[in-house]
Amino acid sequence: MSDSVDRILAQWATVRPELDVSAMGVLGRLSRLTRLVERAQSDVFEAHGLQPGEFDILATLLRTDAGPRGLTAGALTDSAMVTSGAITNRLDRLVTKGFISRETDPENRRTIRVALTGRGAEAVEGALAAHIENEERLLAALTDNERDQLAALLSGLLATHEGSAAHAE
């Protein structure tokens, strides 16, 4: 079975046969696959009236079991792994949609707490079921063993690069 990256690798082999472009093959496939998966995920989220970043915030509040007190904006930023600037814009949109509340913590006036509203919980639960179904469809070509192998390989690669990024900061 051939993919779009094979053509690129074949072109390099013809023009510059002395180059080892095997890393380009791996990373090119990861990049192309990331774009295709993100597009498929965006379609699911849009069908539920959400942008991917909005789903991420709602899912973070749901999976951390933040309850009615919610999370501090800082804890939400850490759990969602996005910048505070990106969080602010997403929170503004989610407040406007009525999916979250954002209030000053009565115990510490400098702290903002973010919580799911009932409407937000319904939105994320509906999108979550469709998201999981979509992810299963996206991985359907792999056996359970292949999925486990791929997950382990990607986890090792990600951990290495996340560790390098942490040391660089």
Cβ-Cβ contacts under 8 Å for 12 (sequence gap 6 or more): 19, 21, 24
Phi, psi of 154, rounded to the nearest 5 degrees: -65, -35
**pLDDT for the residue 167:** 57
> Distance between CA atoms of 22 and 5, rounded to whole angstroms?
11
Give the number of residues written for the chain: 169
- Extents of the domains making up the chain: 1-45, 48-138
**pLDDT for the residue 112:** 87
Architecture of domain 48-138: Orthogonal Bundle (1.10)
**pLDDT for the residue 163:** 80
CA angle 33, 145, 143 (to 5 degrees): 60
> Distance between CA atoms of 80 and 90, rounded to whole angstroms?
11
**pLDDT for the residue 168:** 60
pTM of the model: 0.84
> Distance between CA atoms of 135 and 142, rounded to whole angstroms?
12
Tell me which residue of 61, 142, 70, 143 sits closest to 104, measured CA to CA.
70
**pLDDT for the residue 165:** 63
**pLDDT for the residue 91:** 92
Structure tokens at 108: 């510490």
> What is the pLDDT tens value at each position of the chain, 169 positions in all?
889 999 999 999 999 999 999 999 999 999 999 999 999 999 999 999 999 999 999 999 999 887 778 898 888 888 876 777 788 889 999 999 999 999 888 888 888 899 999 999 999 999 999 999 999 999 999 999 999 999 999 999 999 998 876 556 5
**pLDDT for the residue 156:** 96
**pLDDT for the residue 110:** 86
